[in-house]
Amino acid sequence: MLSYYKRACLTRHPLAQKLFKLMDEKRTNLCVALDVTSQKQLIELADLLGPEICVLKTHVDILEDFTPDLKTTLRQLAHKHQFLLFEDRKFADIGQTVSLQYEKGIYRIAEWADLINAHPIPGPGIIDGLKQVGLPLSRGLLLIAEMSSAGNLANGLYTKKTVEMAEEHSDFVCGFIAQKKLTDNPAMIHFTPGVKMLPGKDSLGQRYRTVEDAICVQKTDVIIVGRDITHAADPLAAAKMIRQTAWDYHTAQGKI
C-alpha cells in the first residue's frame, strides 16, 4: 500500500497533491459533513472541528441566512486549521448550465470551494463545463460513482463508465464519491459518505457502514461523517475519536 505522501508524488493534479500532503502531515483522513442551517452554527463547528479534519464538506444551499461574506470566513478557517473546503453541490446538468451554477449565482462556489462533485449522468460535457471554470483556479472535481442511499441507481456499468470518464479527465477529476475503492490508480482519491461508528440506517434511506468497514474492507481513503459527529452530545470528542479510529485503521493497512 502506498502512503499518502507517495501518492502526492504520483499525481500531477495540484489539488490532489495538496490534499495527500495535508492528510499525511496532519494525520487525518476525516471529512466532516456540516449539514446545518445557520451560518453561526457552521462557523462555530468549523472552528471547533477544524483541527481534526482534512476536508470540510458543506451544503451552502441549506443555510437560511447565507451572506456572501461566509466564503471569506470559511477560507480563513480553512487556512487557520489547514483543511480543504468541499461544496457537495452534486452538479447534474449540461456543461453550459453547470459552468454557470459553479461560477455565478449567489453562492459563487468556484471562488471558495477547493472541491466539488458531480453526477456523471449527463456525460463528459458536465466535466468540460466545470473544468472551464475550475481548472484555472486549481480546483478539483469528484465524480459520484456510487451512493450510500438504499435503492440508488449508481452501480455496475454506470460506476465502471464513471471511472473511465474520470481517467479521461484526470487533469481536473481527482477522485470519486464511492462506497469502495474503484481503481488502483494512486492519483484518484476515494471519499466515502454514509459512515458511522456503528452500522445502521436513517428513516430516509441513508445506509451506514462502519469506519472499520469503509477503511479496512472497502479500502476507501477519506471517510465523510455527518450526524455521528454533529448530533453527538460532544461533537469535538466524537470527531477526535472517529479521526483517531480512522487513522489507526489506515495505518494498520500498511499505508504508512
CB 247 within 8 A of CB 27: yes
Q: Which of 29, 101, 148, 220 binds ligand 5BU (CB under 6 A)?
A: 148
Q: Output 56 or 224, the one with its CB closest to ligand 5BU.
A: 224
Q: Output 8 or 242, the one with its CB closest to ligand 5BU.
A: 242
90 is catalytic: yes
93 is catalytic: yes
31 strand-pairing partners: 55, 224
CB 215 within 8 A of CB 190: no
190 strand-pairing partners: 176
- Told to check if 30 binds ligand 5BU by CB under 6 A, we report no
- Told to check if 185 binds ligand 5BU by CB under 6 A, we report no
Q: Which of 144, 163, 173, 211 binds ligand 5BU (CB under 6 A)?
A: 144
Question: What is the Cα–Cα distance from 200 to 148, expressed in whole angstroms?
Answer: 12
Which range of residues in 105-113, 168-176, 215-223, 225-233 is near ligand 5BU by CB under 6 A? 225-233
Residue owning grid cell 502512503: 3
- Told to check if 88 binds ligand 5BU by CB under 6 A, we report yes
Q: How many CB atoms lie within 10 A of CB 150?
A: 10
Question: What is the Cα–Cα distance from 106 to 104, expressed in whole angstroms?
Answer: 7
State the cell numbers at 207: 445506509
In the chain, the amino acid numbered 143 is L
**Nearest approach, Cβ of residue 184 and ligand 5BU (Å):** 22
**Nearest approach, Cβ of residue 59 and ligand 5BU (Å):** 6
CB 223 within 8 A of CB 195: yes
- Told to check if 177 binds ligand 5BU by CB under 6 A, we report yes
> Which of the residues are catalytic?
90, 93
Positions that interact with ligand 5BU (CB under 6 A): 33, 35, 59, 88, 144, 147-149, 177, 193-194, 206, 224-227
